[in-house]
Amino acid sequence: MHDYQKDFIEFAIQRNVLRFGKFTLKSGRISPYFFNAGLFNTGNDLLQLSQAYAAAIERSALNYDIIFGPAYKGIPLATVTAMALAEAGNNKPFAFNRKEKKDHGEGGSIVGAPLNGRVLIIDDVITAGTAIREAIEIIHQAGAEPAGVLIALDRQEKGKGKLSAIQEVEQQFGIPVVSIIGLDQVLDYISRNPAFGQHADAVTRYRESYGV
């Protein structure tokens, strides 16, 4: 585990974004942990979150020309990540989409830099993959190519079949999906931390049942 991943897990726990207990997911599964990125909701939260995204990008060595944030959650994520990258000396253009096309002013559905070249999509999580597929369609319509996807957490959990939603996206579009952390890092962290020992066994069992 890299330092930025350990720091991110501790930050997510502190902000109650990452919680342990008993949670019923939309799929009906009973999960021993829950991740709600919507609770990153202060200026300082976004600052630390953007630094974690930027660290994950730099670590991944992804080849991209522009950052794209799908509406709505991806908009602030792409914006602050572009700022964090620029502060580190990597100045990249960014863009996001409107849900509805604007028929006055500059018009169109894309705000920010033109979607050209290789586009890195930034979002919080991939659940069913629907939002990412929509983003890829927008990118293709603009004549650009998706370079990859960056998310905060990879649950490393299979969907209805043997693959996770992330693996399905990677397989269907032939692009990498990179995360700040995955369940492996979460499990490693809580297994080493006595304060979370009671949850480590439950997360391990869940991983054995639903992991990919």
Q: Which of 85, 134, 131, 93 is nearest to 112 (CA)?
A: 93
In the chain, which ranges are E strands?
18-24, 30-35, 66-69, 94-102, 108-112, 118-122, 145-154, 177-182
In 75-164, which ranges are E strands?
94-102, 108-112, 118-122, 145-154
Residues 6+ apart with CB under 8 A from 188: 1
Cβ atoms of 199 and 20 closer than 8 Å: yes
Distance from first CA to last CA of the chain, Å, rounded?
19
Per the structure block, which two tokens stand in for 204?
Answer: 């391990």
Which residues are annotated as catalytic?
A: 102, 104
